[in-house]
Amino acid sequence: MKEFKPTEYTLECVATGREFADAGWTLDDRESKSPSLVRAKYANKQIDVKPDDWGLYKFCDWLPVKRMLKGSSAPVTYKSEGLAKHLGLENLYITLNGYFPERGAMMTTCSFKETEAYSVCARADENCDRILVVASAGNTARAFAKVCSDNNIKLLLSVPEDNLSALWFEEPLNDCVKLIASEKGGDYFDAIHLSNLALKSPRFYAEGGAKNIARRDGMATTVLSAVTTIGRIPDYYFQAVGSGTGAIAAWEANQRLIEDGRFGTNTMRLMVSQNAPFVPMYNAWRVDSREMLPYDDDRARRDVEIIDAKVLSNRRPPYGIRGGLYDALKATNGEVLVATNAQGRKAAQLFKELEGVDIHPAASIAAASLIKAVADGKIEKSATVMLNITGAGEEKFKNGRQMWYLKPSHVFPLKPDVEDVITKVEALFADEQ
């Protein structure tokens, strides 16, 4: 095992600037009068990147972790030739999260959600006897399931029944991982609601989503990979967003890298995209509203059914909260872009032809938005551009392998009974008390 020491850091409330100690799983500052994210302030102001065999933990100087878990991989950044030439960009860098051994990318869940899971679970106390709860539209659940199964961490997942096809694995999981689902017709918001009911039991604790510094700083390793490979902070950052947490993380990493002092002082423009017709953050941003606009539940569910990139379907994103996506876009002179299913599919085909690997629908939306931004003259040819490919290589990984699918222990109605949920989820872990 590598020589590893728990990372030293304090917490800072974005709204007030108050600095305080982490109680272990602190998700917010209770002294703040307005809703606000908290950030980690690391003792090491200059990051010392460890060797590649540390996996994701090569960036542990800027991860709020107590230990290293087995099986992790870091994002891989390389300078594009094929797509760059096609677009006429001189300095296009692709940060690949997924399975593409030819490029050194070895994430077997094929999604950058692994960066979250290995960071979040390593922040948790090894001796915690409560059960971690994670709600997901698919990829996050697959990543947390793998990490918790491989490292024997108790986990309760909540996923919409319509998204269960995302829960594939190369072998059966450890019994410490359990799954519940919201019935067909539900979406990510219904899965969140179901998980919140389970959390009414004292046996469970919330992963915390965007409020968890470990989730954001795990995602931020995409930017750390890019900057330490390129040698400078990019001018533009492209990513598709569902919650916007990855883009918030990118902005936070950018600020740390400026403070580091070795990679320049520029702020990269966040160019985030949504999959039409599900575009609630685009709608709020285009009218400069910090608050999300009204979005009828039935219409939202209908729009989710239409889009290819189901993982981009968060109806309650950390958009307006202090330190959230609205602030990130304002601080970076960013934009919210839109791409259709057809544009995403075309971009995916182009990416596979030019870069040699299949990409997930969300990554396809990001690639499509880059293609459109270049066509619209928004990107200078000489600009340093980072394209965050958040999921890749699933076809490559599955080829020749027999997949195993995690099945839900219980499927609940969209309006579940609280006591019924609590009784059933507690019973799932009855043998582990």
Which stretches within 77-187 are classed as H helix? 82-87, 113-123, 139-150
pLDDT at site 403:
97
The 3-state secondary structure of 372-423 reads: HHHHCCCCCCCCEEEEEEEEECHHHHHCCCCCEECCCCEEECCCCCHHHHHH
In three-state secondary structure terms, 82 is helix
- Tens digits of residue pLDDT in 71-128: 999 999 999 999 999 999 999 999 999 999 999 999 999 999 999 999 999 999 888 8
Most confident of 184-188, 305-309, 330-334: 330-334
Tokens of 266: 């520029």
Average pLDDT, the chain: 96
pLDDT at site 28:
96
pLDDT at site 2:
67
In three-state secondary structure terms, 46 is coil
DSSP β-ladder status, 236-240 and 384-392: parallel
DSSP β-ladder status, 335-339 and 269-275: parallel
Distances in Å between the Cα of 338 and the Cα atoms of 32, 99, 309, 310, 343 are 34, 27, 12, 15, 10
Confidence of residue 315 (pLDDT cuts 50, 70, 90): confident
Percent of the chain with pLDDT over 90: 91
Average pLDDT of the residues in 389-405: 97
The single-letter DSSP state of residue 320 is: S
Q: Enter the pTM of the model.
A: 0.95
- Produce one character per residue of 311-329: b if its CB has 16 or more CB atoms within 10 Å, e if not: bbbbbebbbbbbbbbbbbb
Q: How many CA atoms lie within 13 A of 249 on its CB side?
A: 30
pLDDT at site 332:
98
d(CA 288, CA 93): 30
The single-letter DSSP state of residue 322 is: B
DSSP β-ladder status, 204-206 and 131-135: parallel
Count, in order, helices (H) and strands (E) of the chain: 14, 17
Residue with tokens 């994430």: 107
Is residue 351 predicted with pLDDT exceeding 80? yes
Distances in Å between the Cα of 1 and the Cα atoms of 5, 6, 53, 240, 311 are 12, 14, 11, 36, 35
Which stretches within 153-239 are classed as H helix? 188-198, 213-219, 221-230
Is 181 within 8 Å of 409 (Cβ atoms)?
no
- Tens digits of residue pLDDT in 220-273: 999 999 999 999 999 999 999 999 999 999 999 999 999 999 999 999 999 999
pLDDT at site 433:
52
- Tens digits of residue pLDDT in 196-207: 999 999 999 999
Is residue 335 predicted with pLDDT exceeding 70? yes
pLDDT at site 417:
95
- Tens digits of residue pLDDT in 34-73: 999 999 999 999 999 999 999 999 999 999 999 999 999 9
